[in-house]
A and B are shown apart, each in its own frame.
Chain A
Amino acid sequence: MIFFELFYVFFLIGLFTFGGGYGMISLIQEQVVARGWIDSSNLTDFIAISESTPGPFAINIATFVGSQTGGLFGAVCATIGVVLPSFIIIIIVAVLISRFIKNRFVRGALSGIRPIVLGLIFGTAVVFLIKLIIYSNGPQTFHLTSSYRESITIFLMVFGFYLAYRFIKKKSPHPIAILAISALLGVIIFWVL
Chain B
Amino acid sequence: MRKKIAFPTLINLFLTFMKIGALTFGGGYAMISIIEREVVEKNRWINQSEMLDVLSISESTPGPISVNTATFVGYRVAGFWGSFFATLGLVIPSFVVILLISFFYQTFLSWTVVQAAFLGIRSGVIILLIDAVIKLKKSVKLSPVTILLFCLTVSLIILSFFFDFSLSIGSFKVSISIILILLGMVIGIVSTALRKGEIQQ
Contacts and interface: CB of A to CB of B under 8 A. Distances in A.
A168 interface: no
B157 interface: yes
Contacts of A90: 57, 61, 63, 67-68, 71-72, 75, 83
A97 to B, nearest CB: 7
Nearest to A95: B75
Contacts, number: 399
A83 B86 CA distance: 12
A91 B82 CA distance: 11
B41 interface: no
A11 B15 CA distance: 26
B187 A118 contact: no
A179 to B, nearest CB: 5
A162 B139 contact: no
A68 B129 contact: no
Q: Ordered nearest first, which 9 A-B pairs have the shortest CB separation?
A: A186-B120, A112-B188, A55-B94, A86-B63, A119-B153, A123-B157, A108-B192, A182-B124, A30-B175
Q: Is the interface of A mostly helix, strand, loop or mixed?
A: helix
Q: Is the interface of B mostly helix, strand, loop or mixed?
A: helix
Given A93-B57, A123-B154, A142-B115, A112 B189 contact: yes
Given A110-B188, A116-B153, A179-B121, A20 B65 contact: yes
B60 A101 contact: yes
Contacts of A122: 129-130, 133, 150, 154
Interface of B: 21-31, 53, 56-57, 59-68, 71-72, 75-76, 80, 83, 87, 90-91, 93-95, 97-99, 101-103, 105, 109-110, 112-113, 115-137, 139-141, 145-147, 149-158, 160-161, 166, 173, 175-178, 180-181, 183-189, 191-193, 196
A2 interface: no
A120 to B, nearest CB: 6
A113 B184 contact: yes
Given A27-B175, A79-B91, A185-B123, 7 more contacts: A30-B160, A44-B121, A48-B125, A56-B27, A93-B57, A112-B186, A122-B150
Contacts of B27: 20-21, 50, 55-58
16 contacts: A55-B95, A55-B97, A56-B27, A85-B63, A109-B184, A109-B185, A119-B153, A121-B136, A123-B154, A125-B129, A158-B127, A172-B135, A175-B128, A176-B25, A179-B125, A183-B121
Given A20-B29, A120-B157, A185-B120, A87 B94 contact: no
